[in-house]
Amino acid sequence: RAIARHEVREIEQRHTMDGPRQDVALDEEEDMVIIYNRVPKTASTSFTNIAYDLCAKNKYHVLHINTTKNNPVMSLQDQVRFVKNITSWKEMKPGFYHGHVSYLDFAKFGVKKKPIYINVIRDPIERLVSYYYFLRFGDDYRPGLRRRKQGDKKTFDECVAEGGSDCAPEKLWLQIPFFCGHSSECWNVGSRWAMDQAKYNLINEYFLVGVTEELEDFIMLLEAALPRFFRGATELYRTGKKSHLRKTTEKKLPTKQTIAKLQQSDIWKMENEFYEFALEQFQFIRAHAVREKDGDLYILAQNFFYEKIYPKSN
């Protein structure tokens, strides 16, 4: 925290030396803020690495939202602080914020210009399996870090067979509450209201939601739509090393019997319904933005124009 405060002071001092930026209205492109409230184990580190690699070249700031014990629900007072920071911290604009925080509705706080929300989700069982082994063996991103369940050699299949808590169907309930937000009902496992709210937010409050299985297409769409942040992202993902670094070690794929047992749960059915809903929406957006040629996808050029402009200029 001390290092972070020092870095912030350095940046603010640098901007002060450059001129009184806080008194100058930013143009629309410079006033942009993106929030990526990343769901754990959805390739979020791979995607975030791209933002870090591009921020100097594309001239924006990247800030990690680090909550105590990775708690995705903020206190009411922290919500106020967070909204105030995001909207008024001109020294950090344009800004890309990322962290394991559930959706927060800025409109509730009287904000006129809301940030742009993006996210990525994953097949719920695959996400849980990845997280299960991550807690035990870590990954190749920070191999020396000791994880919470390190030393536990039990496989995911064995955990499900024994009815263990770390692989219980209730652990699948994560992507819905992340999109639902900070209401208490969002975190009531199996709440139909929470799923409906998560769907509503995905459609109405998120600029784009991709899926882990089609991450490159998600990045391609972002680069086409928001080049101020993502110019060069697709090529970097294809050729760079960092985007492919983080892989959970010692992961063993579950058997068909294990998957079938989890799929009997109403919780899985709801999380899977939400995932399928997000996937369908993403594929719909992609279908209207790209075309395929010789096995490769390419972004469509502008497909609208203006005519019959009156009154006529002399």
Q: Is there a contact between 139 and 152 (Cβ–Cβ < 8 Å)?
A: no
SS3 299: strand
Catalytic residue (choose from 15, 100, 244, 288): 100
**Contacts of residue 249, Cβ cutoff 8 Å, sequence gap at least 6:** 133, 137, 138, 139, 140, 143
Instruction: In whole angstroms, give the CA distance from residue 229 to residue 57.
Output: 9
Determine the residue type at 122. Answer: R
Catalytic residue (choose from 61, 64, 98, 182): 98
Enter the tokens of residue 255. Answer: 């058997």
Q: Does residue 100 carry a catalytic annotation?
A: yes
Q: Hunting for tokens 């706080």 — which residue is that? A: 109
From 42, 197, 217, 214, select the one nearest 125 (Cα to Cα).
Answer: 42
DSSP 152-221: ----HHHHHHHT-STTSGGGGTTHHHHHH-SSGGGGSTT-HHHHHHHHHHHHHTEEEEEEGGGHHHHHHH
Q: Does residue 98 carry a catalytic annotation?
A: yes
Q: Which residues of 189-221 are buried (b: 16+ CB within 10 A; e: fewer)?
A: bbbeebbebbbebbeebbebbbbbebbebbbbb
What are the CA-CA distances from residue 244 to residues 45, 49, 238 (Å)? 9, 10, 9
Instruction: In whole angstroms, give the CA distance from residue 225 to residue 302.
Output: 11
Q: Which residues are catalytic?
A: 98, 100
